A and B are shown apart, each in its own frame.
Chain A
Amino acid sequence: QLVESGGGLVQPGGSLRLSCAASGFTFSTSWMSWVRQAPGKGLEWVANIKQDGSEKYYVDSVKGRFTISRDNAKNSLYLQMNSLRAEDTAVYYCANIVWGAFHIWGQGTMVTVPS
């Protein structure tokens, strides 16, 4: 399973670090992702990271502001979010990627950036 933490209320321009703790599967052999969902809106892929952290990819809207990382020794995934904007307000989910699809999801953590 996956359990996210670290969400909360942050002022525009502020920073927040999300964490995702993995268990029950081999974390170190899985590509991992962050996906977000703004209130009442659809899903949006945010970022991917390769098993060893050597490759990272982002949606254009967060490039240069968000950084995905992982610690395989701790079975943990992270999302460092800087220069936060109102449009970043969303529930953030972590998920593993297998065969190009998200098979295991966390319960999500809410990030609120007031306008």
Chain B
Amino acid sequence: QSALTQPPSASGSPGQSVTISCTGTSSDVGGYNYVSWYQQHPGKAPKVMVYEVSKRSSGVPDRFSGSKSGNTASLTVSGLQAEDEADYYCFSFAGSNNWVFGGGTKLTVL
């Protein structure tokens, strides 16, 4: 049950786009479409942004989009806004009733 690999940090200026990657294996990200993304502000509970690879959760702005290619899933945030600054985590089914998170990416809006 190894954690999925995410870059520790990402950044962009307001209005720009940024993409956060989440790399796993064919046993998790590559093997199933149960990939979700979570936003967590300091001291708060996580919030689901995208589930089943690319479906936006209710109320999530369409600036947030998810995709997957092979063993790597991605979360793209377009038109960056100050309130997007947070930690982001990917999460995937890993088979055999196991589930695994990515290590997390701190997104900074410059």
A contact residues vs B (CB 8 Å cutoff): 35, 42-45, 48, 55, 57, 59-60, 93, 98-103, 105-108
Contact = CB atoms under 8 A, between A and B. Distances in A.
Nearest to A55: B97
Interface of B: 1, 3, 32, 34, 36, 38, 40, 45-48, 51-52, 55, 57, 89, 91, 93, 97-104
A100 B36 CA distance: 8
Given A57-B97, A99-B51, 9 more contacts: A42-B89, A45-B99, A45-B101, A48-B99, A55-B97, A59-B1, A99-B52, A100-B36, A101-B57
Contacts of A42: 3, 89, 101-104
Given A43-B38, A45-B99, A100-B52, A105 B45 contact: yes
